[in-house]
A and B are shown apart, each in its own frame.
Chain A
Amino acid sequence: MPPPVWLPLLVLALPFASFLLLAVVAPLRRAGRAAGGVGIAAMAAALAGALVIWLAGYRNTATWAWLPGDGGPMATVGLLVDPLANAMLVLVTLVSLLVQVYSLAYLGEESAPALGRYYTYQSLFAFSMLGLVLSPGFLQMFVFWELVGLCSYLLIGYWYQRPSAARAAVKAFWITKLGDLGFIIGIVMLWAATGTFEFETLFAKAQAHALAIPALGTIMFLVYLGAVGKSAQFPLHVWLPDAMEGPTPVSALIHAATMVTAGVYMVARAQPLFALVPDVLTLIGWVGAFTALLAATMGCVENDIKRVLAYSTVSQLGYMMAAAGAGAADAGVFHLLTHGLFKALLFLGAGAVIHAVGSNDIFRMGGLFRAMPQTGLVFLVGTLALAGVPPLTGFFSKEAVLVGVWEAGMTGPFLMLALTVFLTAFYMFRVVFTAFFGRTPAAGHAHEPPWAMRGPLWLLAALTVLLGLRFAAGGGEAHGPGWLAPLSVGLALAGIALAWTMYQRGALDPRRVAAAFPLSVLDALARRRYGLDALYDGLYRGFVLALSRLVGWIDRYLVDGVLNVASALTLRGGDALRRIQSGVPQDYVYGVAFGVLLLVVWARLWMR
């Protein structure tokens, strides 16, 4: 029996109802844990709905007129439910639910109003993300695109009393806005050329070769810019590592599993349009692969456990984009889904570690495996999946991406991605060996987290393993050249081995390795984040601030000056005119008499 039509709408409405309830009913929000209960209940129901839709393979498009226009509505809102959206629905609702449950314990020491605020934002985020996933057209997608950006801003700045968090929130907002600017311009240009925002109409035109717009390359590039900002592609990736100032569950949900993948989702959704402009696709592929490599090198020198994960997220987003650029958007989305699971797992695991140790620095951890074996085990599962070791899910999806890129004949990006496989395994196991197996005991008294945190961890780990086993049993391997799987596994194992030699065995001193040429140059560059942050900083200071100062000067002295002069003149003039009113009646009679005289003369001379 197919599920009812209103089910997707219900899935979308539930988080929104929860958001409204929490936003409007202040006592409920201030109650903290009760607010969490509301959010979790709504998410659980939404997850159930999403699962039903997904299992039924539901497909439907429902739109309603939105902006009225001549000859049919100018824009519509609605729901587009297809297998791509279904899978995303399940991922978003599942990770949202797990993160909300986890947060109940992770943020348990927060004050009740702050916790209520957190769940209000979380509900709003879930609604926005689901709305984005279900968008049937570019315009609705853009609206929700901005909404998730807003939620990201609010949640990064959750601890807004900390200046660094407030700054990171603003940075994330602004940098993604840079990309969104291109996105909206692209959407509007596309609309001006075709007169529609709808995906299905556009795809039909693309199939019928009726989409011969001369500027299509420019338009799709601008649309892609939105994905560059949102999915943290080079050179707009700098906001994502800073976004780690937010609470760890937020990083797991928004900055690993869902929001940052919106760019990939959009490119995959608009694949038929991108397919028309091979140049832009090639660019997407190269930028994605380059992002993957660049972020991986930065991950190798980072000491903050969350920032390592952030760089690895940037790197994996690069994989997805590279796959989309190679025309294998399916592989990209596949990686998106598996990555969403194991990266959320890694972030939540890191959260448990941070919760226990009270520090983000991996070199202040050590031997944690003995103190918290369960967390260590699930973290290891996530790490192996990320490194691409079979039979975990990450292996299959990464394999699919590599096959897609190789078969598209993009040798350059393929080599970069292959090198990234090695680096990914290296920097992730650097964290694992240092934090969990290192000999120096951890600072503080490490202990296993409560069950509200362990439950989601175990569930995600189980999914990673079980789905991987299912892919292995079902022949989920991508059909690429035979040498590809051994190569990628070999590279991953080499990375693990190198990390083991350097950080566990101590046979190689990391400092000496880093000092050897040419690694020393790379090391110095990566530590300075390739000067990109400094570059943006400089541009901001030199350009934006200078411009604002100039505008401020113009406003203060030119605009205000003109107004001040005008008002002074008016005052002076009024004062001068005031003196005409002498108060002596004879003066007025003079005026009347003189006026009459003038009239008489005028009548005599000109009115003949």
Chain B
Amino acid sequence: MSLGAYLTLAALVFAIGLFGVLTRRNAVGILLGIELMLNAVNINLVAFARFHGDVAGLVFTLFTIAITVAEVAVGLAIVIVIFRVRRTVEADRLDLLRG
């Protein structure tokens, strides 16, 4: 398989994730979208590492996965706290930053 196929897959996954982030009303759904986008990046990194024969990409991916886990843990914790306070996790209602 060529590098292009991997990159296309990564682009597709990234686009799906972005679509999820933009359209989901539920905060958990948005977190899932972010997760997809990060993993698209992981695919890119691994693909480049494999085709260029450079291990640095794999190391980067390991770091990214660890950070993603931490991010999801913090993100879900925030969502739960928001739910406790506001009784909702719908993103449209969470507009405290409105100008």
Contacts and interface: CB of A to CB of B under 8 A. Distances in A.
Partners in one complex: yes
A584 B94 contact: yes
A106 B95 CA distance: 83
Contacts of A583: 94-99
B41 interface: no
Contact of B91 (A579, A584, A590): A584
Task: Give chain B's interface residue range (CB within 8 Å of chain A).
Answer: 10 to 19
Interface in A577-591: 578-586, 589-590
B46 to A, nearest CB: 23
B22 A586 contact: yes
A251 B28 CA distance: 96
A582 B98 contact: yes
A581 B91 contact: no
A349 B96 CA distance: 89
Interface in A552-608: 578-586, 589-590, 593
A584 B91 CA distance: 7
B91 A585 contact: yes
Contacts of B95: 582-584
A589 B21 contact: yes
A581 B22 contact: no
A583 B98 CA distance: 4
Interface string A296-309: 00000000000000
B43 interface: no
Contacts of B30: 586
Contacts of A589: 18, 21-22
A579 B99 CA distance: 6
Interface in B1-53: 18, 21-22, 30
A129 to B, nearest CB: 69
Contacts of B91: 584-586
A584 B18 CA distance: 16
B99 A586 contact: no
Contacts of A584: 91-92, 94-95, 98
A135 B92 CA distance: 84
11 contacts: A578-B99, A580-B99, A581-B98, A581-B99, A583-B95, A584-B98, A585-B91, A589-B18, A589-B21, A589-B22, A593-B22
Interface of B: 18, 21-22, 30, 91-92, 94-99
Given A580-B99, A582-B98, 17 more contacts: A578-B99, A579-B99, A581-B99, A582-B95, A582-B99, A583-B94, A583-B97, A583-B99, A584-B94, A585-B91, A585-B97, A586-B22, A586-B91, A589-B21, A589-B22, A590-B22, A593-B18
